[in-house]
Structure 1
Amino acid sequence: MASESKEVQIDFSPYLKVYKDGTVERFFGSPYVPPSLDDPITHISTKDIKISSNVSARIYLPKITDPNKKLPVLVYYHGGAFCLESALSLFDYQYLNQLVPRANALTVSVEYRLAPEHPLPAAYEDSWAALQWVASHSVKGSEIDSEKEPWLINYGDFSRVYLGGGSAGGNIVHNMAMKAGEEGLIGGVKILGAFMSCPCFCDSKITKESDFGSARLWGFVYPSAPGGTNNPLINPFADGVPNLAKIGCQKIFVSCAEKDELRDVDLSYVEALKKSGWNGELELVDVEGEDHCFEAFDPSTEKAQNLISKIASFIKG
């Protein structure tokens, strides 16, 4: 039966529709791009790997000029409102092909399950599993190493682990850093830094709900969330949520954009971090005249290039 004749259950146009027969039709997103060895322009090599039955990833390896030099490890979470896009998509591929060579970072871009087929907390569970899998490569042993990803074993510096992501991916970064601070990572790995671009948070005192606003979105991607939009996963300001001082990283980079409807709540997040008692390094970049995650949609613009360079510098230290 053609989608035009199906009965719509949830309409999130122009992004997606959910039909009463359970099918999901996505209108927003970029096409998948295959991995490649030694990109002719960036000289980055990419490959897709399976982490578990639910989780996969695309790994980006910068051009190796010194095989004895270890690289910082970036675990990256793509955006897309928890229900769109992919680690294998053109948007992510173009963006990371700009960031990876500048940061000279071995990058694991996580492919997590999407709502509504897999409602939250599935994406958080997958993201945590991927992070712990990356950390497990810090544990040495000949039998263990034979079962691991060789790029991580051979080139990863686990004293320089970073998290990064935009929009929903930025939200995931925050929550993975909080969980790492509370529970720890395999091998005692510590997260050195985390960057979040236009991270998706919700606070009824700040956020204005729109047709695809964060409050309505949250109810769609996590309908059983305890506390609704006061759940700490989406609202780090709610009463009774864990203190932000527990966030498990030494430095944080937050970027926001003037025209983004999430800008106010993102600025409030930065202020909350400052007041929390967390004693790490905090950097904020507020880009004039741009909208939500502009650098991911078109990384070729001057402002996107400037932001990507700043993130790369943050990772390189």
Structure 2
Amino acid sequence: MGSIVKELEKEFLPFVRIYKDGSVERLLGSPYVPPSPQDPETGVSSKDITISENPSISARLYLPKLEETHHQKLPILVYYHGGGFCIESAFSYDHQRFLNSLVAQAQVVAVSVEYRLAPENLLPIAYEDSWAALQWVASHSIDDGVNKEPWLMNHGDMKRVYLGGDSAGANIAHNMAMKAGAETLNGGVKILGTALTHPYFWGSGPIGSEPSEGHDKALPYLVWNFVYPTAPGGIDNPMINPFAQGAPSLAGLGGSRLLVSVAEKDELRDRGVSYYDLVRKSNWEGEAELVQVDGEDHAFQILQFETESAKTLTKRLASFMK
């Protein structure tokens, strides 16, 4: 018997192949790794939990090494991984390594959300899952006898909740901060701050140094159409283009602190800078900071984790939450 060759329906390179039997092959992304009771390098403990059975939403939780006498509560970081909404995972090696380091330095309890990916689950599902996860975290502010996660109950400070993410995950974090600014979280929990690293924003018209030639063939454009083909307004939907006409004012951003980080060689750089400028020009009452890193490309703090630039940026993100 020969092996059965699966018929290709379509491919979206360099990310995924979709076969006629409905299966999806992911071509990029780091391998899945188990959580660790105590990471030998950082002392950080991690474990996987289920937030919701139906829909299926899970997370990897992180807890820094605590002193025996430690009774003070720690800030909570709700983190959304990158990967163009279609690859990577909260359970992947790259994100585990990065978050172990960040959690150890920032001394936070982190909840790294495993939202469902396109193309099996097209947007807006990732946003819905991400909001459900944030509401689940906030529900730990209410002592109602319902099954609660001990790490959040015992160690998490509900007055210091941060959102964070890289790339598509930073896009999610921005959209969650907007939603948290407009709607109520469980127990009236408020977001304290948001850290966006190389946020994935785009739009129909080029800005800054983006080339006008072939703008609609650029990867950020193609990714959005692939993961959210039914988006109202297409590439100018406010979820991907916060500067679009009719987009809600960025003054409505939840929280009082914002850190936006961009990399010189990243094609998304100018969008990140414009976003920071736009937040500052809006009537948002918080404090915004911009970190620009020279000589580096998209998501270098995760993909080139060992480099000095990556370590410096991770340290900067940690100090933002301290």
Q: How high is the TM-score relative to the length of structure 2?
A: 0.93
Report the residue type matching 2:296 in the other structure.
E
The within-5 A match list for 1:1-317 is 6-9=7-10, 11-53=11-53, 54-65=56-67, 66-141=69-144, 143-144=145-146, 147-205=147-205, 206=207, 209=215, 213-316=219-322
1:8 shift after superposition: 3.8
- Residues 203 and 265 of structure 1 are in contact (CA less than 8 Å); yes or no, is this contact kept in structure 2? no
Structure 1 residues 210 and 43, CA, compared in 2 at 3 Å: closer, same or farther?
A: farther
SS in 1 for 2:259: strand
Inter-partner Cα distance in structure 1 for 2:74 and 2:3: 50
Inter-partner Cα distance in structure 2 for 1:101 and 1:3: 47
- Residues 76 and 109 of structure 1 are in contact (CA less than 8 Å); yes or no, is this contact kept in structure 2? yes
Structure 1 residues 3 and 240, CA, compared in 2 at 3 Å: closer, same or farther?
A: farther
SS in 1 for 2:170: helix
Number of residue pairs the alignment of both structures matches: 312
Report the residue type matching 2:61 in the other structure.
I
Report the residue type matching 1:267 in the other structure.
V
1:5 shift after superposition: 5.9
Which of 21-30 and 86-95 deviates more?
21-30
1:42 shift after superposition: 1.0
- Residues 8 and 17 of structure 2 are in contact (CA less than 8 Å); yes or no, is this contact kept in structure 1? no
1:210 shift after superposition: 7.2
Inter-partner Cα distance in structure 1 for 2:4 and 2:190: 48
Structure 1's unaligned 5+ residue stretches are none
Report the residue type matching 1:62 in the other structure.
P
Structure 1 residues 3 and 103, CA, compared in 2 at 3 Å: closer, same or farther?
A: farther
SS in 2 for 1:292: coil
Report the residue type matching 1:56 in the other structure.
S
Structure 1 runs of 4+ aligned residues shifted over 4 Å read: 1-5
- Which digits, 9 at most, give the CA deviation of each residue in 1:174-206, with x for residues without a partner? 000000000021111111111011000112222
Inter-partner Cα distance in structure 2 for 1:262 and 1:41: 32
**Alpha carbon RMSD of aligned pairs, Å?**
1.6
Inter-partner Cα distance in structure 1 for 2:218 and 2:235: 14
1:12 shift after superposition: 2.1
Inter-partner Cα distance in structure 2 for 1:5 and 1:152: 45
Inter-partner Cα distance in structure 1 for 2:262 and 2:112: 21
- Residues 98 and 299 of structure 1 are in contact (CA less than 8 Å); yes or no, is this contact kept in structure 2? no
- Residues 75 and 107 of structure 1 are in contact (CA less than 8 Å); yes or no, is this contact kept in structure 2? yes
1:276 shift after superposition: 1.1
Inter-partner Cα distance in structure 2 for 1:202 and 1:291: 17
Report the residue type matching 1:83 in the other structure.
C
SS in 2 for 1:115: coil
Report the residue type matching 1:131 in the other structure.
L
Inter-partner Cα distance in structure 1 for 2:295 and 2:39: 32
Inter-partner Cα distance in structure 1 for 2:131 and 2:6: 40
Q: How high is the TM-score relative to the length of structure 1?
A: 0.95
1:212 shift after superposition: 5.9
Inter-partner Cα distance in structure 1 for 2:29 and 2:276: 29
